[in-house]
Structure 1
Amino acid sequence: MAASTTPHPPAALPVVETFHSLQGEGFHAGRSAFFIRLAGCTVGCSWCDTKHSWPERSHPRLPLAELSAQVGEARRMGAGFVVITGGEPLHHDLAPLCRQLAVQGLPLHLETSGVDPLRGQFDWITLSPKRHSPPRPELLQRCDELKVIVHHEDDLAFAEAMALQAGSGGPSPRLLLQPGWGSRTGERLALEYVRRHPHWRLSLQCHKWLAIR
């Protein structure tokens, strides 16, 4: 997948929303976090719960300085880290944003499908690879957390293939299987697989159960 070609300087980015909440899923679930959801995604997952974030031009561009100020306020209110998500955030060059946010002193986490080059410095990378649009090898090597969504049996074989590649070049990432929301088949498959394969851990979307963002 090509990165965004929108001819705008990186002093602003298209933003769907920002909010202070709890991380609802993955390895850091339950921790206080500030979220920056960027617009634009061409990966096109049929089960995506943020399809409104796909069209980049439908959302306002916010100055990086404004985003930094929001992060500073969230830090004062107790946020423990910043999550940059989407959409697909790596459609954008995130290096300027990372530099801008670094002054606030909070760890920067990235949530990505890994289809584009990594640009920016992050303290934690959650890679959620997709079978129909596999990630770049360098993202597999760099990720701290590999989180695979499970709807069908084939997703389990894909998860193991991704885990094998992710662990081939250095420290192995945390491995998580997450049932697709509302997929009873995904729930059954993920539960049974984690029960039999202790190197995997179950991830649940707690924020949806709690009806929070």
Structure 2
Amino acid sequence: MKETTSHSQTTELPLMEEFYTIQGEGYHSGRAAYFIRLGGCDVGCVWCDVKESWDAEKHPYTPVSEIVENALKSKTDFVVITGGEPGMYDLSTLVDELHTHQLEVAIETSGAYAFSGNVDWYCFSPKKFKSPVEEAYERADELKVVINHPSDFDWAQKHAEKLVKSNCKLFLQPEWSKEERFLPLIIEFVKEHPQWRVSLQTHKYMNIP
């Protein structure tokens, strides 16, 4: 079984899928992006729409060099590493090689693990199912909270209060299956708390990955 904890050099990663698309969520919404989705997750969100990513052993361990080569075949200047939970792995080699080719690199993570890799953009999306580490509050460039229950608004505020970077972007995003219920509430909340912004899963409206 391959290494699944941070801070040990990793030259192969469990690759679930990779694709060139438009970022649909958060700060970089609307931007062309090459997605690298890694397998493996122990956070266990009940509403996760990629539960097939959870078991890392179901996805081929792929050389970092091959992953980078595939990204370079696209016209991208922006790579998003997601999962699963990508923070389970040492991503320093992958990030460094992407940077060698002048690609901007972002990660989307629950913040449940200490993170390795000098990414350009750290999207912190905490989940109630596994507590984040303190480092996540220090590194976050973007806080994206999925609203699945009325109590999530206060929960989001508590996370925002712990952020270190004063310019961290704050987003509230309705859980897709409950958008009709929660989007109106999010809109009103953002109007009352304008430091927050609304995030929608626009890729689903565009019917793209």
Corresponding position: 1:108 with 2:105: yes
What is the SS of the residue equivalent to 2:97? helix
Corresponding position: 1:139 with 2:136: yes
Corresponding position: 1:62 with 2:59: no
In 2, are the aligned partners of 1:39 and 1:87 still within 8 Å (CA)?
yes
In 2, are the aligned partners of 1:38 and 1:88 still within 8 Å (CA)?
yes
Distance (Å, rounded) in 2 between the aligned partners of 1:190 and 1:145: 17
Q: CA deviation digits over 1:148-168, x for unaligned, max 9?
A: 0001111000100000001xx
1:7-22 aligned at under 5 Å gives the runs 10-22=10-22
Count the aligned residue pairs.
205
Distance (Å, rounded) in 2 between the aligned partners of 1:128 and 1:11: 26
Corresponding position: 1:179 with 2:174: yes
Counterpart of 1:190 (choices 186, 190, 193) is: 186
State the superposition RMSD in angstroms. Answer: 1.7
What is the SS of the residue equivalent to 1:27? coil
Deviation at 1:9, TM superposition (A): 6.8
Moved segments of 4+, more than 6 Å:
none
Corresponding position: 1:40 with 2:37: no
In 2, are the aligned partners of 1:151 and 1:185 still within 8 Å (CA)?
no
- Superposition TM-score, scaled by structure 2 size: 0.93
In 1, are the aligned partners of 2:9 and 2:92 still within 8 Å (CA)?
no
Which stretches in structure 2 are left out of the alignment for 5+ residues? Answer: none
Identity of paired residues, percent? 42
Deviation at 1:135, TM superposition (A): 1.1
Corresponding position: 1:86 with 2:83: yes
What is the SS of the residue equivalent to 2:167? coil
Counterpart residue number, 1:165: 162
Counterpart residue number, 1:204: 200
In 2, are the aligned partners of 1:12 and 1:62 still within 8 Å (CA)?
yes
Quick one: which amino acid aligns to residue 205 of structure 2?
A: W
What is the SS of the residue equivalent to 1:133? coil
Distance (Å, rounded) in 2 between the aligned partners of 1:170 and 1:26: 17
In 2, are the aligned partners of 1:150 and 1:189 still within 8 Å (CA)?
no
Distance (Å, rounded) in 2 between the aligned partners of 1:69 and 1:18: 12
Quick one: which amino acid aligns to residue 184 of structure 2?
A: R
